[in-house]
């Protein structure tokens, strides 16, 4: 288990806990994993399909937090379409089908052999695919 919770992964988990609340997010997504109880909430400011700012609320294990941290590193400055593709690439990587989509996710290599923990890592990536505009009250 020690190999699983190494420094880079823990730094990504910390990153997910350090985002600041947004005063006027334009998009939001909430996704949970009913099997383990992890929940990821993403609030984002999206302008011309580009993500300019994010806030994460993660209630879950260190792997879920680390996945959210990795997602956050990829999100700012990228398009919502890019993030949908990244979610697919990350899933394929963790299922031994493709190489790592970027160097920030190679710390998840040990997770590839623990099938029931892959969903924890992917939860934020999947939530990012579901970002929808927040409608005014």
- Which H or E run contains 90? helix 80-94
Give the CATH number for residue 104. 3.90.1010.10
**Residue 92: band (very low, low, confident or very high) from pLDDT cuts 50, 70, 90:** very high
Q: What is the mean pLDDT of residues 8-28?
A: 94
Q: Which domain holds residue 99?
A: 7-133
What is the structure's pLDDT at 136?
Answer: 77
Contact 93, 99 (CB under 8 A): yes
What is the structure's pLDDT at 33?
Answer: 93
Count of domains for the chain? 1
Which residue's entry shows tokens 């959210």?
A: 68
Helices 62-75 and 7-17 sit at what angle, rounded to 10 degrees? 70
**Residue 5: band (very low, low, confident or very high) from pLDDT cuts 50, 70, 90:** low
Residue 1 lies in a domain: no
Cβ within 8 Å of residue 117, ≥6 positions away? 63, 111
Residue 2 lies in a domain: no
- Which H or E run contains 32? strand 27-32
């Amino acid at each position: 288990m020690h190999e699983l919770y190494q420094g880079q992964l823990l730094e990504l988990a910390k990153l997910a806990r350090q985002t600041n609340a947004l005063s006027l997010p334009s998009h939001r997504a909430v996704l949970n994993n009913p099997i383990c109880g992890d929940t990821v909430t993403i609030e984002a400011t999206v302008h011309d399909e580009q993500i300019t700012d994010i806030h994460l609320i993660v209630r879950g294990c260190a792997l879920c937090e680390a996945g959210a941290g990795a997602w956050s590193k990829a999100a700012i400055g990228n398009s919502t379409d890019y993030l949908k593709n990244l979610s697919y690439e990350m899933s394929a990587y963790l299922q031994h089908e493709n190489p790592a989509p970027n160097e920030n996710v190679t710390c998840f290599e040990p997770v590839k052999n623990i099938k029931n923990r892959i969903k924890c890592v992917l939860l934020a990536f999947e939530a990012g695919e579901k970002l929808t505009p927040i409608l005014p009250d």
